[in-house]
Amino acid sequence: MKNGYYIGDFEPSAFKTKNFEVAYVKHKQNDKWVKHYHKIITEINFVMSGKVRINDQVFVKGDIFVVEPSEVVDPLFLEDTELIIAKTPSDTTDKTIVPRC
């Protein structure tokens, strides 16, 4: 599987569907995702362990946060972190990078 994604409209996948994507991902402390947004995707994240700052909010083990379409996120992992990510619909082209100022 690629980048932890194992369900969705891509190859390889354990279950192929256009309706949603699911991933299990690990990030090391101080990892930074690119600042980005999705035009149509809603992203639901479950923090299995660790601590992550999304914009001005901090999420810890057991927290769930939802990223709505067009919401810009700038994540920073404050501890080693494990996430389960679900996105709907599955669209691997729906990610727009936002330059940092």
pLDDT at 22 over 80: yes
Ordered by start, the domain boundaries in the chain are: 5-97
Average of per-residue pLDDT across 22-35: 93
CATH entry, 5-97, from 3.30.450.20, 2.40.390.10, 3.60.150.10, 2.60.120.10:
2.60.120.10
Q: Which band of pLDDT confidence, cut at 50, 70 and 90, is reported for residue 18?
A: very high
Cβ atoms 43, 85 nearer than 8 A: yes
The burial of 76, by beta-carbon neighbours within 10 Å (0-12 exposed, 13-18 middle, 19 or more buried), is given as middle
Phi, psi of 98 (to 5 degrees): -110, 120
